[in-house]
Amino acid sequence: MKTALSAPYLMQKILATAALHTSILFPSQREFYHHQASGLQIRALSIFNSSHLELDAEKCTLIVVFSSLLAMHSLCDVVKSPDDDFSNFLKSFICCLDVAS
C-alpha cells in the first residue's frame, strides 16, 4: 500500500478495481459502480500517460502491477459482456492478453 501511495496512477487503478469488484457484489448498484470504475481507470491511464517515468527496479514493479490490473479489468469487462459471438470474445480476450504483456 505504501508503494501504491507513491504512484498516483496505481492508486487510481486500485480504486477502479475496488469499484469494479463492488459492481459485481451489489448487482442493484452495478451500473453506478461500473461507471465509477471506468472513470477511475481513465484517470489512472491519464496520470500514467502524463507522467515521465525514469525506469528503475521499483518503477518497473509498479508498472507491472498497473498493467496486470488493467488487463484484469479488461478481462472482467470481456467476460461480463452479453455478446454471444465467440470471435468477438476471442478478439477482446487477445486484446486483454496484449495489455498484460
- Express each pLDDT in 72-91 by its tens digit: 888 887 777 666 677 777 77
Please give the model's pTM, rounded to 2 decimal places: 0.80
| Residue 50 pLDDT | 94
Crossing angle of helices 57-80/8-25, nearest 10°?
Answer: 30
Only one residue has cell 507522467, namely 51
CB-CB neighbours of 32 under 10 Å: 13
How is residue 6 annotated by DSSP? T
| Residue 61 pLDDT | 85
Q: Which residues does the chain have with pLDDT short of 70?
A: 81-84, 96, 99-101
| Residue 96 pLDDT | 67
| Residue 55 pLDDT | 82
Buried b (16+ CB within 10 A) or exposed e, 46-62: ebbeeeeeeeeeeeeeb
| Residue 43 pLDDT | 96
